[in-house]
């Protein structure tokens, strides 16, 4: 687990092939599907694995899941909409139009063990990784590729596209190393000009992922952004 001196590194994974097309489904609680502290919606910042959902191959094909096999379920609770990402297990015993999830999770999110919802191929999701994974990432840079198995996505290739530290400073692909620097910027990351040709000096991080063991909590890398390379 991560040191008490530093929060876990959050990894945001995006799937550029997902289009956000939703399918109406019935979500049913299933007591046999495990749901532990590492998956909890209420501890999203520290969630180290996605909760499990089960659906049949017909619905999987309709959702065009791809190799990642991650969905987002969207529920309406009162006047709010809640989104929860799930990894998918294909189970043809699940009836058409249904998605089965942990009863405990469903009760936590919507207050019942059955609900109407919408399912879609997940466009992005977030997990927290322990220090051992963060150490393996150290030395890689924005633009480098990573084996998806590090994040439970066996057989997939991911590309590092950016990140930010605990103070919100973004990693900049044009700045070498792991340090924090003030540089003149004409665009993102780090600055969005209001007028054409406008430039400003802004603080950014270097493009390299640091070794978490030598970082201070207040300035540690807090989030790393990855995209799935769909080849």
DSSP state of 39: G
CB neighbourhood size of 90 (10 A): 15
pTM of the entire predicted model: 0.90
Q: How far apart are CA 161 and CA 217, in angstroms?
A: 23
Q: What is the pLDDT of residues 53-77, one digit of tens each?
A: 999 999 999 999 989 999 999 998 7
Give residue 44's pLDDT. 65
Give residue 3's pLDDT. 44
Q: How far apart are CA 100 and CA 56, in angstroms?
A: 10
Q: How far apart are CA 213 and CA 229, in angstroms?
A: 29
Give residue 160's pLDDT. 98
Mean pLDDT, consecutive 10-residue segments, the chain of 231 residues? 64 95 96 89 74 97 94 88 94 97 94 95 94 95 96 94 94 94 87 82 93 85 94 68
Give residue 2's pLDDT. 43
Give residue 138's pLDDT. 96
Six-digit token string for 84: 């929860």
DSSP state of 45: G
Domains and CATH numbers, the chain: 19-122 (2.40.40.20), 127-228 (no CATH)
Nearest-CA neighbor of 85 among 99, 98, 70, 100?
A: 70
b/e code 189-201 from CB counts within 10 Å (16+ = b): bbbeeeeeeeeee
Using CA atoms, how far residue 208 sits from 5, 130, 175, 214, in Å, is: 21, 19, 9, 14
Give residue 73's pLDDT. 97
């Amino acid at each position: 687990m991560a040191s008490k001196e530093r929060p876990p590194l959050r990894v945001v994974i995006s799937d550029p092939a997902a289009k956000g097309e939703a399918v109406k489904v019935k979500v049913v609680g299933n007591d046999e599907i495990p749901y532990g502290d590492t998956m909890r919606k209420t501890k999203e910042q520290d969630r180290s694995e996605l909760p499990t959902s089960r659906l049949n191959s017909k619905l999987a094909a309709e959702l065009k899941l791809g190799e990642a096999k991650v969905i987002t379920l969207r529920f309406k609770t009162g006047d709010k909409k809640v989104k929860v990402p799930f990894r998918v297990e294909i189970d043809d015993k699940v009836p058409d139009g249904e998605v089965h999830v942990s009863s405990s999770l469903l009760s936590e999110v919507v207050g019942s063990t059955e609900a109407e919802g919408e399912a879609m191929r997940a466009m992005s999701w977030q997990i927290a990784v322990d220090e051992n994974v963060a150490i393996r990432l150290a030395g890689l840079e924005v633009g480098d590729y990573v084996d998806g198995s590090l994040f439970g996505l066996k057989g997939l290739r991911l590309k590092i596209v950016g990140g930010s530290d605990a103070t919100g400073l973004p990693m900049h692909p044009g700045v070498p190393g792991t340090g924090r620097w003030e540089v003149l910027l004409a665009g993102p990351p780090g600055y969005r000009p209001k007028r054409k040709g406008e430039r400003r000096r802004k603080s950014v991080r270097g493009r390299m992922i640091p070794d978490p063991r030598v970082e201070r909590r207040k300035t540690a890398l807090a989030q790393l952004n990855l995209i799935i390379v769909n080849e």
